[in-house]
Structure 1
């Protein structure tokens, strides 16, 4: 029984746990070193930069989860995606189709779109440099000092697009002494990996670090149509880090990194679609081949390099970071933080597994093996981003005031050449999208130290942002002197008058500008050296944009910025001579104009379309508790628990249609209920003969309206998330053996906006009876994701002083399969069980 398995896992996991968090300190060169407290018995500290200055994590009045490099390695965390296994109320997954793109949902705020007109609400930062795009944010954590997960919003100090929070990756600085490590491994699905790093000190004041990784595997999915293996996770990366003391008052920390990822999250099933009795593995039935040019998309009129793409996804990132620090006074430091990010992405992904989309009439569409896929998106994208920040940290009034202030500039240019192909033969769209962003911001935050125990914090940021959009339609029908109004050219961007929902022609703006003020207020009281109480109120915003996946101008509609006020209260505490750390936060998030992406199937044609709108406001109230226990030397335990209670809030007095003719959610809800009362059935092709009632209920099961005529449950917000585990360093003579277990659990959740699932059991409509239904019965496929435990475990043999290490690790050790996401009733599963044997040498 599943409850027995869950209970057994939870109990066993509490007996061994993750390593204690390491304290990060700096020597005169700025090199990171780890120290322990209380004779190596007790919870140690970590210094974080959540407030843009170095502070002990226990002194920061913000909910933060921070992990050292050692902790990440022991827990089997090798990529940013895996952070979701450790952080309460964080759901992390690969985007549908794309192994290089992570969709984070933190406290219910997230976005599954990777197109450049959409911005993620959980920002990713590397050494204080923001990564705007979500297309290649699944970073390989191969040369990091630590990772911080900050709950949102972080709008005052980190800026726009952090309504959900921020993933802050801090890279390891070069060391003053020659040294490094080499690591190699082999694992499931013929996985091979190599990692290494070496510190090369030039002299006492200048050091260099060179590091890199390479990995390759065959893929865990068997394609019985093309006889290829899919969903591999290949890639490589290299980094050169520099650190120099240019003078007694000037320091420079810089790096260049190149990362290439070749990984997919292609639709697959735990039973073979061509032989349902075979459930030993993961299977796909797409006819789209990985061989470049095999699909002959050019034969459909697709233009550009993408016409020759084979099934797969490749991304490449060039990342340059530079932080030049000046001590301009005794207590004042000026930082010039410069970043350049170049990202490219090329993919051809079949989202319908070589067939049509499921409906209640055909819940399991027959295998078609379309050589061009069932619904395929081809993309050839490039993004260039430049950021410059000037930051001042200092103290005033005889240390009564600690402040950080600065100016921030961002310039981003994106070019996306993409096409949509349906049913292997219908070219829905082929266009080049150019969109740019320019943003300026100024910020200041100050702490007033009223007493040694009481501190008040106030800060504010003002952001001025301008976005522009331009499209070129590459379809043959548009290559004429006077293109039809349905072609995607700038002069065609208007919604034509129809006399009802749009009385007069309305222009669709191709330029969006916003100015946003995001303040923060906080109070914290230090009861004693071991207990901190705090409360805060913070505002943030996420940029607006366009629904640029539309195939006609009237579908490329803008959506407005998303704003949030978040209220937190918490305690950070340590007990029993620092053997127990307990950090607990209570929060309430109030979001206005939530940006919500939805995939909608046209009930007549079966064609998939993507829509993002400000469907509703959003409320989320929750608790996050993180406990770390070190009862004796070498034994480290942790339990992290998150709870959230959230819902959408719609405007029942909104106009029936907005200025672009889009129906309000309240109007759609009323229409859905009328259709259901008339006996119409959602998710049904409209096959009714002329003059008879329609079979389908088109207002139901789309947007945030469910097939049952209710407002949907927000996605990826399980009531509870639990992470529990640990490790024990068992001495064996001069050696040590370290077993570790890390288990994560989430309760039931929905993963598709309209909560649409297909279930066993017939349903009857005006024109017939259908073999499945969206209401009750055994789950077939769709949005509902059942509660699940995922258990990772490892065993490491360490040489004296850890000069070398041999280890074996498994992820998802019990091969638990659950729904991570859904797209128009197709169901995307989490990765299966994997194992890896590693050898590491430190020198």
Structure 2
């Protein structure tokens, strides 16, 4: 505990409190002539350059230097600065990026659905959320737009957009470099250089590398897991033959190759299975059948950070692509073309049973994705009319090859009677999956701004969208001898084949569907005073249809539920009002937003508790509602002191979901009679009857904290140090999230407690340099990032703890 504070003290002996770099929510002055301090924050949220305070929507702007100073080096970390942004990840593929509780269905992901939060890098849509886990690479700023954005962005986004802008080539030679070292063997290096190649051509190249020891120790392999191992490259060439025309060619490549992502034992919770079929009893039975084994998890305290998972772990992850962007000023208006190709290669290996027992000995679903997109936009600004119109096309293909295999302990874990004592019944039972997905999307969209008066603007927008999805899934199941099994007709009860079919069943499915959608929005904004803007928005939006692409759940009789192959589009009605203000001679900015979003046919990830399917698959919840209030404050009383505070209240609920899968405490027993009114009175009582489905209407959406706050402050003093003029500064930033539930059907066993994190930094900066020390999670708070329900209804709950206290130092130079 002493070392990080000594590091801070060594660089901050003459400091005051608060941060130079922080999340600046809508904190842009509209007129620099009267601005006393700070700079104008320019955004492109509405596909044209304007100040953030002029944009009549809820938007958070995080500058590149803020991202670096606070250690938020990817979208996953960025949520510490943007309270309404929630990102949860068990690995890059299984990542949920949500705004106001909406976006990606929480839980294990499927390739067959769309994001509700679009991630754009330099106007290029990234279709898979794996992009959120990579390091920011030479970023200028990040805009987090809240609410539907489909009438201005190529791909429809019902919950919001993350608009990332990178630094572009310059015709003046410049460069920057950054080096960070810290505990947990952290090493991070970033560098960028830019300059002219001729009078009309400029180039920029950037590189970033991050490595860090893992935070969980695996006693089986005797090494730390869940490490960081990232490398990213980006190159950009700008051709500017005239002031009216610019052509930008960009390419990027990033890879991750850590040993991860593993889980550890968190707790057990009683299900409705027979007592002998619950986690602790099953472990005792395996030990009794193997004299001298005496298996036990290394710790039942997750904050000991010990696990014993025994399957191979891997998270090989490569992502990249190229884009060509043309900006042409035609005088009357501006034409933009964005052509892009992106790829994603994912090579995972997981421990599917979350234990050191050999229940699932192998689990992997490597996939390869290619996407192509083309967007054309034309924008024009006039005295009374501004408008943007665009045409967008998108094509994607994903191929996946999956393998899951049962281990030596699987029979004792999953079977009863004499078969449980014969390891050969399930050992080596293998499901081999082959699948592909083709997705095509096309859209015509536009938005118009009519300046009725100097104060009043009316802004309608519309979108016509076509989507088509087709997929193929085949699962071949072989026994331990390598022979293919067939589960049709239904094998005799109690037979070896019936036991094997109860774990994995051969499947073939080829879901396909298409849909046209028309959506629109309408915004009215009024300038109540020079620095006071009020606005109201209504949006009718949608999220396109989905298909279950990773295998279908089983019915009660173990037959395949083919009705679950396709998922209906979401229908979204969104209402929002907001107030944007600046006062105290623009030293202070305060913005307030209230919103309500109603969704029919909400695409939810649900948990069937079965080994034979992915833990999560898509289903439609009848109705969902999210509503809340957001407040953002920035204040800079002097050049020596600044601060910010952001708060969000989000009430996100299933309004109607009557046939949801049941949580673990209402699962695992013999099913209640068909047609009977579900009985929930025996939750968590072993050997009782389980409902066939559960009504979770009125319960909260998973992954959503009702309350979220972030804050920060920085103070500085001018000093001369080692003949260098500059500022000594001290900064603090923190965030708080209230409790949330991490199971799709909320469970008493998967409540994640709320937590508050505090970070501090102190250093010395001047012309072209910045040297500072930092401590993150200063008070070494123990908290969980995610809880997962293990398959099989045994009551095992696994999870991933958040980072412990970390500390280090950073040196930045620029020229």
> Residues of 2 paired with 1:696 and 1:439: CA distance?
45
Which of 589, 593, 609 pairs up with 2:597? 589
1:580 matched to 2:588? The reply is: yes
Distance 1:327 1:57 in 2: 23
Q: What do you get for the CA RMSD once the two structures are aligned? A: 3.4
What 5-or-longer segments of structure 1 have no aligned partner?
Answer: 1-13, 25-32, 289-309, 355-367, 488-506, 658-666, 685-693, 758-781
- 1:553-585: CA deviation from partner (whole Å, max 9, x where unpaired): 535621111121111110111001110001111
| Change over 3 Å in CA distance of 1:668–1:138 after alignment to 2 | farther
The one of 757, 766, 771 aligned to 1:790: 757
Q: 1:287 to 1:334 in 2, by over 3 A?
A: same
How do 1:174-323 residues align onto structure 2 when only pairs under 5 Å count?
A: 174-263=169-258, 264-268=260-264, 274-276=297-299, 281-288=304-311, 310-323=312-325
Match for residue 695 of structure 1 among 663, 688, 693 = 688
Contact 2:473 2:510 in 1 (8 A): no
CA contact (8 A) 2:511 2:565 kept: no
Match of 1:805 in 2: 770
What's the secondary structure of 1:475's corresponding residue?
A: strand
Please give the TM-score of this superposition, normalised by the length of structure 1: 0.78
How far off its partner does 1:253 sit? 2.3
In 1, Cα distance between equivalents of 2:798 and 2:375: 43
Q: Would you say the 8 A contact 2:266–2:799 is kept in 1?
A: no
Q: 1:17 to 1:594 in 2, by over 3 A?
A: same
Correspondent of 1:620 among 614, 617, 626: 626
User: Does the Cα contact within 8 Å between 2:474 and 2:509 map onto a contact in 1?
Assistant: no
Is contact 2:786–2:801 with CA below 8 Å preserved after alignment?
yes
Query: In structure 1, how many angstroms separate the alpha carbons of the residues matched to 2:191 and 2:29?
Result: 20
**Aligned residue in 2 for 1:746:** 737
Aligned equivalent of 1:390 = 376
Cα distance, 1:99–1:327 mapped onto 2, change above 3 Å = closer
Structure 2 length normalisation: TM-score? 0.80
In 1, Cα distance between equivalents of 2:770 and 2:31? 21
Return 410-419 or 818-827, whichever deviates more. 818-827
Render the CA deviation track for 1:100-156: whole Å, top value 9, x for unaligned.
Answer: 754222111132343321322211111111111123432311301110101121122
Instruction: Name the SS of the counterpart of 2:525 in structure 1.
Output: strand
1:508/1:315 CA distance change after superposition, 3 Å: closer
Deviation of 1:374 (Å): 4.5
Q: Does 1:714 align with 2:715?
A: no
**Which residue of structure 2 aligns with residue 431 of structure 1?**
433
**What SS does the corresponding residue of 2:66 show, helix, strand or coil?**
helix
CA deviation string 1:233-278 (max 9, x = no partner): 1010111012221233211123101011234342135899745488
**C-alpha distance in 1, partners of 2:224/2:180?**
21
- In the alignment, structure 1 residue 171 sits paired with structure 2 residue 173: no
Map 1:593-612; keep pairs closer than 5 Å. Answer: 593-602=601-610, 609-612=615-618
Q: Does 1:755 align with 2:757?
A: no
Q: 1:422: how far off? A: 4.6
- The CA deviation at 1:720 is 1.0
CA distance in 2, matches of 1:669, 1:127: 56
Does residue 143 (structure 1) correspond to residue 149 (structure 2)? The answer is no
Show the 5 A alignment for 1:457-496: 457-476=459-478
Deviations 1:76-107 (Å, cap 9, x if unpaired)?
Answer: 2111111111112222222x2x1575422211
In structure 2, stretches of 5+ residues that fail to align are 1-15, 268-294, 409-426, 491-507, 554-559, 662-670, 790-796
Alpha-carbon shift at residue 383 of structure 1 (Å) = 0.5
Alpha-carbon shift at residue 747 of structure 1 (Å): 1.5
SS of 1:515's partner is strand
Q: Which of residues 377, 391, 406 in structure 1 aligns to 2:390?
A: 406
Mapped to 2, the partners of 1:52 and 1:434 lie a distance apart of 34
The verdict on how the C-alpha distance between 1:262 and 1:673 changes in structure 2, with shifts beyond 3 A counting, is farther
Q: Pairwise mapping of residues 723-738 of structure 1 onto structure 2 (< 5 A)?
A: 723-733=710-720, 734-738=725-729
Q: Quick check: 1:163–1:563 contact (8 Å CA) kept in 2?
A: no
**What does 1:299-698 align with in structure 2 at a 5 Å threshold?**
310-328=312-330, 330-354=331-355, 368-370=356-358, 374=360, 377-395=363-381, 399-422=383-406, 425=427, 427=429, 429-476=431-478, 510-550=511-551, 554=561, 557-602=565-610, 609-650=615-656, 674-677=678-681, 680-682=682-684, 684=686, 695-698=688-691
Which position in structure 1 is the counterpart of 2:419? none
2:777 & 2:552 partners in 1: Cα distance?
40
Aligned pairs, number = 708
Q: Is the 8 A contact 1:114 1:133 kept in 2?
A: no
How many Å separate the matches in 1 of 2:329 and 2:33? 33
Bigger RCO (CA 8 Å, 6+ sep): 2
Q: Is the alpha carbon distance of 1:321 and 1:730 closer, same or farther for their aligned partners in structure 2, counting shifts above 3 Å? A: farther
- DSSP 3-state at the match of 1:82: helix
Q: Provide closer, same or farther for how the CA distance between residues 671 and 187 of structure 1 changes in structure 2, counting only shifts above 3 A.
A: farther
**Distance between the aligned counterparts of 2:685 and 2:118, measured in 1?**
35
Matched residue of 2:401: which SS? Answer: strand
For residues 161 and 238 of structure 1, the distance between their equivalents in structure 2, rounded to whole angstroms, comes to 28
Shift of 1:619: 0.9
Look up the match of 2:497: none
Which residue does 2:811 correspond to in 1? 839
